[in-house]
């Protein structure tokens, strides 16, 4: 059962890599994370394992085409790594489940290329742009112990 977690000691740590022998355990945790964000009462489209008490490199992200997209897919990314990014950036408003009282303008790369392991235990490489790229960068920051509030443009 997943509940939001705001323990700063976990949110401020660099998350550990998920080893091959742990994959099944984290696939089950991922399923709980998906249920949590898809619950209409929560209304969320992304979540990182540290936000729910696991210091592991696991995120759940909804790949939105834009902020009004209602036909998006939600995927699991274990051990996501940004391989390349555009030089072009965009500043846009962000908020976070872990610091719900804060909002702010954050600069992010417009386009990223990343690798990750999916729920079928396959390594994938994907190129994302726009809001999907922003969401993934925000969640990878969580895996590195960084909150969006650290990046707010003053």
Given CA atoms 149, 90, 140, 13 in this order, what sign does their dihedral have?
Answer: negative
Q: Which of 3, 94, 119, 139 is catalytic?
A: 139
Catalytic, 139? Answer yes
Buried b (16+ CB within 10 A) or exposed e, 61-94: bbbbeeeeeeeeebbbbbbbeeeebeeeeeeeeb
- The residue with tokens 């976990």 is 10
Question: Which residues are marked as active site?
Answer: 139
């Amino acid at each position: 059962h997943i509940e939001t977690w705001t323990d700063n000691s976990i949110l401020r740590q660099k998350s550990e890599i998920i080893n091959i022998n742990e994959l099944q355990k984290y696939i089950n945790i991922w399923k709980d994370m998906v249920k949590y964000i898809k619950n209409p009462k929560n209304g969320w489209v992304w979540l990182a394992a540290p936000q729910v008490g696991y210091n592991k490199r696991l995120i759940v992200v909804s790949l939105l085409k834009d902020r009004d997209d209602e036909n998006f897919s939600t995927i699991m990314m274990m051990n996501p790594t940004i391989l390349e990014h555009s030089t072009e950036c965009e500043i846009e408003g962000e908020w976070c489940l872990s610091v719900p009282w804060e909002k702010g303008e954050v600069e992010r790369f417009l386009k990223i290329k990343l690798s990750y392991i999916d729920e079928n235990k396959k390594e994938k490489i994907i190129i994302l742009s726009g809001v999907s790229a922003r969401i993934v960068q925000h969640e990878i920051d969580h895996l590195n112990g960084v909150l969006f509030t650290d990046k707010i443009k003053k």
